[in-house]
């Protein structure tokens, strides 16, 4: 049923129009203070309890020429794993600060494996209402979740990008849900967006696994001659308070600066994509579902079964 005639459950008509126009939407205080504190406390508990000796010093970066791509990363889709800030790891692999102050992010199956994060992601009536109101997907599935720590003074810059490059479907269908667990400011690396860029910036490349699963690389979807010119416009910084959630269209350009402050910038983020037959997800993507942990359906859709591509379904 079109959004214009169906009864909205959470969003207003104006909010939906703003999302469609700008490619992102901030929802103040989506989580209650208690709900926000529960995620933040659990994040810090995970950092405190993980055994450093059982986790390689994998550094996370989104630079085109040096994207993370080892086996620890490639097999993290159905696990909870820890990735370090580049400046926290010395050349000999040793950390130069406590592990709790070294981790860049925790990922990628928090929404599946941890009850606190699962409750917010897959068992949240307000989240389901937002998905129904947006009418962005027919039958969305969740496939990736992370706590991003943005550590004091070393929390790395994230360059201009769009999420569909990293979670590619045909056609593109990624949608991000980004929840601030702490105050996000210009000093500690709040997100910035280029409004409307989702309407003018096609997906020109995608992150794929290298042959033999030896790492990751970017694959061009169009030739350099066909690549569009850099979009014009002014980035808008979205400062957030704890509990605010930002909806992020998979094609909208966004970025964050390095954390120059003494404060962390914890945030929880997860993504949805469309499921077959509306969009296809294939075995070239870096993140793959497993037989034990297929991508989880967000909405209850009767008489429909989601079979993840790469596990018996059609491939793009």
Query: Per-residue pLDDT for 3 more than 80?
Result: no
- Rounded mean pLDDT, 211-228: 86
- Assigned token pair, 194: 């280029």
3-state secondary structure of 246: strand
Q: What is the pLDDT of residue 150?
A: 97
Band of residue 252 on the pLDDT scale cut at 50, 70, 90: very high
- Tell me which of 6 and 261 has the higher pLDDT: 261
Cβ partners under 8 Å of residue 107, min gap 6: 76, 80, 81, 83, 144, 145, 146, 147
pTM to 2 decimal places: 0.90
Least confident residue range of 65-74, 204-213, 214-223: 65-74
Place of tokens 């075995």: 283
Q: According to DSSP H, which parts of 103-156 are helical?
A: 110-113, 115-121, 125-134
Average pLDDT over residues 20-32: 98
Residues near 311 by Cβ (< 8 Å), separated by ≥ 6? 289, 290, 291, 294
Domain ranges of the chain: 13-281
| DSSP code of residue 211 | G
Q: If phi over 0 gives left and psi between -120 and 50 gives alpha, with beta otherwise, what is residue 280?
A: beta
Residue 52: the pLDDT is 87
Q: Which residue from 166, 107, 126 is spatially nearest to 35, judged by alpha carbons?
A: 126
**pLDDT tens sequence across 262-277:** 999 999 999 999 999 9
pLDDT of 98-107, one tens digit each?
A: 999 999 999 9
CATH number assigned to the domain covering 13-281: 2.60.120.620
* Of 217, 238, 306, residue with least CA distance to 22: 238
Give me the pLDDT at residue 250, please. Answer: 98
Residue whose entry in the numeric block shows the structure tokens 């280029």: 194
Number of helices (H), then strands (E), in the chain: 7, 14
Instruction: Tell me the pLDDT tens digit for each residue of 43-90.
Output: 999 999 998 887 776 654 544 444 455 788 899 999 999 999 999 998
């Amino acid at each position: 049923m079109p959004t214009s005639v169906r009864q909205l459950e959470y969003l207003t008509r104006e909010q939906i129009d703003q999302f469609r126009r700008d490619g992102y939407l901030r929802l103040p205080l989506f989580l209650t203070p208690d709900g926000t504190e529960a995620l933040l406390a659990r994040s810090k508990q995970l950092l405190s309890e993980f055994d450093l000796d059982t986790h390689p010093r994998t550094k996370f970066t989104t630079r085109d020429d040096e994207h993370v791509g080892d086996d620890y990363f490639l097999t993290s889709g159905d696990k909870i794993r820890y990735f370090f800030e580049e400046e926290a790891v010395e050349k000999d692999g040793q950390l130069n600060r406590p592990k709790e102050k070294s981790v860049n992010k925790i990922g990628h199956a928090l929404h599946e494996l941890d009850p606190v994060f699962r409750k917010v992601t897959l068992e949240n009536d307000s989240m389901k209402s937002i998905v129904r109101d947006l009418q962005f997907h027919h039958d969305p599935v969740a496939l990736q979740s992370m706590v991003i720590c943005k550590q004091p003074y070393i929390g790395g810059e994230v360059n201009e990008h769009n999420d569909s490059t990293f979670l590619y479907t045909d056609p593109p269908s990624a949608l991000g849900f980004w929840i601030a667990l702490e105050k996000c400011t210009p000093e500690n690396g709040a997100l910035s967006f280029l409004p409307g860029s989702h309407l003018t910036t096609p997906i020109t490349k995608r992150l794929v696994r290298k042959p033999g699963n030896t790492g990751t690389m970017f694959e061009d979807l169009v030739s350099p001659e066909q690549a569009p010119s850099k979009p014009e416009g002014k980035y808008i910084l979205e400062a957030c308070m704890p509990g605010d959630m930002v909806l992020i269209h998979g094609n909208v350009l966004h970025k964050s600066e390095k954390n120059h402050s003494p404060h962390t910038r914890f945030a929880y983020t997860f993504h949805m994509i469309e499921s077959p037959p509306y969009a296809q997800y294939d075995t070239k993507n870096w993140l793959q579902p497993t037989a034990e942990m297929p991508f989880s359906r967000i909405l209850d859709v009767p008489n429909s079964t989601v079979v993840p591509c790469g596990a018996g379904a059609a491939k793009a």
